[in-house]
Chain A
Amino acid sequence: MKREIPILLTVLCGLAVTWSFFSPVGVSSAMNAELLDWAQVFFSVAFLLGIANLVRISLKQVTAGHADSPYKLVMLAVLFGYLLAGLAEIHGWLPAAFTEEHGNKALRNWGHAKIFVPLQATMFSLLAFYIASAAFRAFRARSLEATLLLTAGAVVMLGQVPIGDELTGGWASRALAFLMVHVNGAGQKAIIMGATLGVLATGLRIVLGIERSYLSE
């Protein structure tokens, strides 16, 4: 039963969702809505599990005196600080004077604007430096395939910015459009269709109870 019940549930859910896709009205629609609600509840619970696991591993490292302990402590402080700020705002635990002056989401928005945005934007901006360095050290025309890739990349980089057309008399953006629409577009379609057929086949195997790897079999 430990094996049969999960397989039965998977098969029933898979069939119900497939049915509602082709007939999104009446019972099938209601059933699909219910399943989607459940999936969202599972998704939210997964967040809690993730937090619990993160806290467990971090505390283990802190108590063991790991070299990263200070970072782990900062991470835990931010995690629970932000959680508390959110709970305080949602449940109205903050003094009325504070929310009147700063708005209901002031604490979370402050953390987002002053800490999260600059940190994430900085991390992403660093990519420009690493790509420039990689361009010099790693992008080599070692083979025909690598040369084609390099040439296509160069055309896309030139065609994507205004100076490309100025330097090439409008040739760069025309070449970019050709590459993107005819070469990349055709290739993408083929890849997507192939991948979708694979997904369909796997989905069918799961719905029919043939594929059981999700049960660790």
Chain B
Amino acid sequence: MASVIANFDRRWIFLAVGLLVVSLYAAGISSELPESEYVRDFHATLEALPPGAIVLLSADFDPASAAELLPMYQGVIHHLFARDLRIVNVATWPAAPPFTQKEFARIAPLYGKTYGVDWVELGFLPGDDVAMGSIGQSLRSAYPRDDRRTSWADLPLLADVGDNMRGISLLITASAGYPGILEWIAQVGGRYDVTLLAGTTAVQTPDLFAFYPLQLKGFLGAATGATQYLQLAAPLAARLPTGEGALDEVRDENQRRMLVQSWAHILILALIVVGNVIYFRTRVPTGAARR
């Protein structure tokens, strides 16, 4: 058995995965998902906020997890602007701001939003959970200027934000690991009694069930959660000049990815089964080996 599996050229497996992913993606077939309870709660928490409320949106990810987290980040920005909520955008991962700057520059004009009034980008703050503690304690002292080097006084939105998270109605994080949602819960969520929502990678999602629904009102788990949320948020997004919804393309793209992911999971399960069948059929029983 050991020789069958050990001698198998794994490049055949790589080829199978590559062919499956590329062919299904090229076929462009999409797959709709039923929304789970935690995703509906995420959506409902946003819907329950009154217009004008301020949301602290934290980008805690980098390019490695952008495939999972960026679509949900885009969906959240559309959703918040569509509901006339105001956004204070921060980041505790250094590679996140270029993503968020690009998204705000693209999405804000669709809703006629003005920088400094409807949203503010404060940028990256070093220090991991210490940075989160600083943000909770005093956003003003953590960020004396925004990411464009504008002073606090020239940003009218920040006049409504005080120390100890005063004025912040909700904190949402797109979290890829450390520092991320678990640190936000410890440093800010429990300490200042702020409602928390999160979007996370597949690896981090199981950690969140221990906090839902008390410390965490809802969450989007990986590409599956992102797709489910985009299905709910897309109808709320602004209309493009073409008549299409501004989030439709992102939602459709995610639905296509879900079909690819579906079959990739099936392939991996099949490989586990085949590997185990070979193992049991060629295994030398313990007693026989002794004889």
A→B interface (CB under 8 Å): 21, 24, 29, 32-33, 36-37, 39-40, 43-44, 47, 104-105, 108-109, 112-113, 116-121, 123-124, 128-129, 131-133, 135-141, 150, 154, 157-158, 160-165, 173, 177, 180-181, 184-185, 188-189, 192
Is the CB–CB distance between A135 and B265 below 8 Å?
no
Is the CB–CB distance between B66 and A121 below 8 Å?
yes
Is the CB–CB distance between A112 and B67 below 8 Å?
no
Most buried by B among A21, A163, A164: A163
B107-130: which residues lie under 8 A (CB-CB) from chain A?
125-128, 130
Contact (A128, B17) CB under 8 Å given A36-B133, A180-B206, A188-B207: yes
Contact (A24, B272) CB under 8 Å given A43-B126, A116-B63, A177-B36: no
Q: Which A residue sits closest to B138, measured CB to CB? A: A33
B45 interface residue per 8 A CB criterion: no
Contacting residues, chain A, for B222 (C-beta < 8 A): 160
Is the CB–CB distance between B272 and A109 below 8 Å?
no
Contacting residues, chain A, for B264 (C-beta < 8 A): 128, 132
Is the CB–CB distance between B275 and A40 below 8 Å?
no
Which of B5-13, B76-84, B239-247 lies at the binding interface?
B5-13
Contacting residues, chain A, for B17 (C-beta < 8 A): 128-129, 132
Is the CB–CB distance between B279 and A140 below 8 Å?
yes
Bound CA span A181–B127, Å: 32
Bound CA span A172–B131, Å: 40
Interface size class of B (residues with CB under 8 A): 35 or more
Interface of A is mostly: helix
Binary interface encoding of chain B residues 238-282 relative to chain A, with 1 for a CB under 8 A from any of its CBs, else 0: 000000000000000000001101111111110110111001000
Contact of B191 among A21, A105, A120, A139 (CB under 8 A): A21
Contact (A43, B262) CB under 8 Å given A24-B191, A135-B275: no
A87 smallest CB distance to B (angstroms)? 14
Is the CB–CB distance between B274 and A129 below 8 Å?
no
Contact (A120, B62) CB under 8 Å given A140-B275, A188-B210: yes
Q: Which A residue sits closest to B130, measured CB to CB? A: A39
Is the CB–CB distance between B5 and A40 below 8 Å?
no
Is the CB–CB distance between A162 and B210 below 8 Å?
no
Most buried by B among A33, A44, A108: A33
Is the CB–CB distance between B261 and A161 below 8 Å?
yes
Contact (A135, B271) CB under 8 Å given A37-B141, A162-B33: yes
Is the CB–CB distance between A132 and B98 below 8 Å?
no
Contact (A40, B134) CB under 8 Å given A150-B272, A154-B269: yes
Binary interface encoding of chain B residues 4-43 relative to chain A, with 1 for a CB under 8 A from any of its CBs, else 0: 0110101001101110010000000001111011000000
Q: Can you list 9 A-B contacts (CB < 8 A)?
A: A21-B191, A33-B138, A40-B127, A43-B127, A108-B98, A117-B66, A133-B14, A163-B263, A181-B209
Contact (A109, B98) CB under 8 Å given A40-B131, A132-B271, A180-B209: yes
Contacting residues, chain B, for A132 (C-beta < 8 A): 13-14, 16-17, 264, 267-268, 271
A21 smallest CB distance to B (angstroms)? 7
Bound CA span A122–B203, Å: 18
Is the CB–CB distance between A124 and B141 below 8 Å?
no
Is the CB–CB distance between A162 and B272 below 8 Å?
no
B224 interface residue per 8 A CB criterion: yes
Contacting residues, chain A, for B275 (C-beta < 8 A): 135-140
Contacting residues, chain B, for A116 (C-beta < 8 A): 63, 95
Bound CA span A128–B173, Å: 25
Is the CB–CB distance between B191 and A39 below 8 Å?
no
Contacting residues, chain A, for B261 (C-beta < 8 A): 161
Q: A112-B95, A160-B222 are in contact. List 9 more A-B contacts (CB 8 A).
A: A40-B126, A116-B63, A121-B64, A121-B66, A124-B65, A150-B276, A157-B268, A177-B37, A180-B206
Bound CA span A118–B209, Å: 32
Contact (A160, B265) CB under 8 Å given A40-B134, A116-B63, A132-B16: yes
Is the CB–CB distance between A36 and B36 below 8 Å?
no
Bound CA span A24–B190, Å: 13
Contacting residues, chain B, for A136 (C-beta < 8 A): 5, 8, 10, 13, 271-272, 274-275
B101 interface residue per 8 A CB criterion: yes
Contacting residues, chain B, for A184 (C-beta < 8 A): 206, 209
B163 interface residue per 8 A CB criterion: yes
Bound CA span A124–B224, Å: 18
Binary interface encoding of chain B residues 41-70 relative to chain A, with 1 for a CB under 8 A from any of its CBs, else 0: 000000000000000000000111111000
Contacting residues, chain A, for B202 (C-beta < 8 A): 160
